Structure formats: C-alpha cells, structure tokens
Homo-oligomer: A and B are copies of this chain.
Amino acid sequence: MLGYFGPAGTFTHQALRTISAEDAVAFASVREALEAVREGQLLGAVVPIENSVEGGVSATLDELIAGEPLAIRREIVIAVEFGLYVRPGTQLHEVREVLTHGHAAAQCRDWLALMVPQATVTEAGSTAGAAAEVARPESRYDAAVCARVAGQLYGLTELAYQIEDNPGAVTRFVEVGLAGSVPERTGADKTTLVAYMREDHAGALLEILEQFAVRGVNLSRIESRPTKTTLGSYCFSIDVEGHLDDKRVAEALEGLHRVCPRVHFLGSYPRADGRRPAVGYGSTDEEFDAAAEWVASLGG
C-alpha cells in the first residue's frame, strides 16, 4: 500500500492518484509518511518536492536524509489548477462565503473579485479542509476553492474550473521507497543528491560543479542550504540529468564521494516530462567504454 502527505483532497493526493487507483493512507506530515515507509508499513509514499501551496522541498529533503536510507523512484508533475466547489444546488450568484487556503485565495484573487464580487473569502488550514467543511450540509460556507480531487472527494458540484489568475503553474511530487533498488534507466532520467562542501571558501561550489562538468553531466536544479552544524557551512541539493547507470553520472558520483565529506544519493528515476538529457561532448557510455579500453591498452 502507498501513503501520502495528506489530508485527502490535496494536490499531493491528486499526484498519488495519477500513479495508483488503489486505496492509500494519508499522513499528517511528510515525516510520518516517510517513517511508515522506513518501518515497512508502506511500499512507498508520495510527498511534495517543490514549493507549492502545500509544502516545500526543504522539509521533504530534510526528512529523506534524516534516517534510514530512502530513495526517490518516480517524479510526478501536477498542474496547479483550482476550481470553485459548492454543495449540489448552490448557484454562483448565491455564493456569499468562500472558504479556502490563503495561498489559493491569493492565486484566485482576480477571478473571485470578478465572478463572485459579493463573496467574503475566509482562510482555512488547507484547501481540502475547506472542501470538507463546505460539504457539511449545515456549514455556514457556501463554496470552497480547492483542487478538483477535493471537490470530487466530498461530493461537491464544480461551478468553475481553472480559476487561477496565472494559469500554467505546475508543482512536483515524488514517490519515495526504501533505498537499494533503483528503477531501471529509461534514457530520460533524473538523479537527486545532496553534497556537503568541505570548507566555506570562494570556489568550494565550483569544485563540486566541476565534478559534473568534466563528465558532461548537466544539472537541472541546484539549491544551497545551510548545514545545521557549522556556521557558514553549506550543502547543495542537486538534480542532475541522467541515471546512476549512466557512466558519466556514476563517475561524477565517485568524484563527489572523494571531494565531499558527505554525499547522499536520493535516487535515480524517470523524469515526469520524458525529456532526454543534454549529454556533454564525449560523455556517452560508449565513449566511456572506449576511453577505458584505450587506457587499459597503454600498459602493454
């Protein structure tokens, strides 16, 4: 069984449903969901990995590193789309009290002002909680701004969809399992890791990045984060294009292992967008093999 960072009706829940139609368990925090994976209660858990209305990459990365090794095994990208949901029978012009999370309210401000100018917007703890509240027949709220999954979950009627003022936003989630079995290489993969730097000097980050550059490995995300132990010390959370089974990635990881005091491998997994990586000059597996053969031949 899979788990997820709940409650039901959130975008995380929606992400989970794109990969599994089976029942899944909601957890109150990323930590609790991941602990359940570590303890073997779950086969995996879906958690947010990017800033979004419901949580951030930091918490998830911290939790991934914090205990028994876990690894990301899938990436899921979800469009951030909101709708206006009411109890069956309510008409748009009857909506006077809207309940939603503050972020959702901010993202739909213009639409709400235009389409339900008569309504007051109240902030709830989550968009899913807002839907749950609106679903109660005796609720004093007429409508919730929430994800479609929440509207469906609570039997609400969709009066409008894609009401966000700036359409096109997406957010990312990952499915996490126990470390030790890496999904097969697809040719369009990502690898996530955290590398700690040795010292705080101009150029420490360069030393880390050169380990990738000289092997033709492209980065698709980097984020520095202060380490908790030493003042002015950092680690770097990094996504690279490629898979542990790509020789250029494996050799770059070896290089990091040598020059960094600590490196966490957080998984190689298929990219949600299926985009194949840019591979630096001379960095295919075939070129790695040819180079190794040449060097082996030199000794006679």
Chain A, range 194-237, C-beta contacts under 8 Å to B: 198, 200-203, 205-207, 209-224, 228, 231-232, 234, 236
Would you call A125 an interface residue if the criterion is a C-beta within 8 Å of the partner chain's C-beta atoms? yes
CA distance A292 to B253 in the complex (A): 9
Would you call A58 an interface residue if the criterion is a C-beta within 8 Å of the partner chain's C-beta atoms? yes
Is the Cβ of B232 less than 8 Å from the Cβ of A299?
no
Q: Select one of B203, B217, B287 contacting A213, CB under 8 A.
A: B203
Would you call A28 an interface residue if the criterion is a C-beta within 8 Å of the partner chain's C-beta atoms? yes
Is the Cβ of B209 less than 8 Å from the Cβ of A211?
no
Which of A82-90, A146-154, A257-265 touches B? A257-265
CA distance A124 to B124 in the complex (A): 5
Would you call A129 an interface residue if the criterion is a C-beta within 8 Å of the partner chain's C-beta atoms? yes
Rounded to whole Å, the gap between the CB of A11 and the closest CB of chain B is: 14
Q: Assuming A125-B102, A222-B224, A291-B258, is B211 touching A299 (CB within 8 A)?
A: no
CA distance A217 to B215 in the complex (A): 16
Rounded to whole Å, the gap between the CB of A108 and the closest CB of chain B is: 12
Q: Select one of B126, B210, B292, B299 contacting A244, CB under 8 A.
A: B299
Would you call A275 an interface residue if the criterion is a C-beta within 8 Å of the partner chain's C-beta atoms? yes
Is the Cβ of A295 less than 8 Å from the Cβ of B201?
no
Would you call A19 an interface residue if the criterion is a C-beta within 8 Å of the partner chain's C-beta atoms? no
Q: Which residue of B lies closest to A215 (CB)?
A: B255
Q: Assuming A202-B216, A281-B259, is B221 touching A224 (CB within 8 A)?
A: yes
Is the Cβ of A209 less than 8 Å from the Cβ of B219?
no
Would you call A155 an interface residue if the criterion is a C-beta within 8 Å of the partner chain's C-beta atoms? no
Residues of A at the B interface (CB closer than 8 Å) are: 28-29, 31, 51, 56, 58, 101-102, 105-106, 109, 122-126, 129, 168, 179-182, 198, 200-203, 205-207, 209-224, 228, 231-232, 234, 236, 244-245, 250-251, 253-255, 257-259, 265, 275, 278, 280-283, 287-288, 290-292, 294-295, 298-300
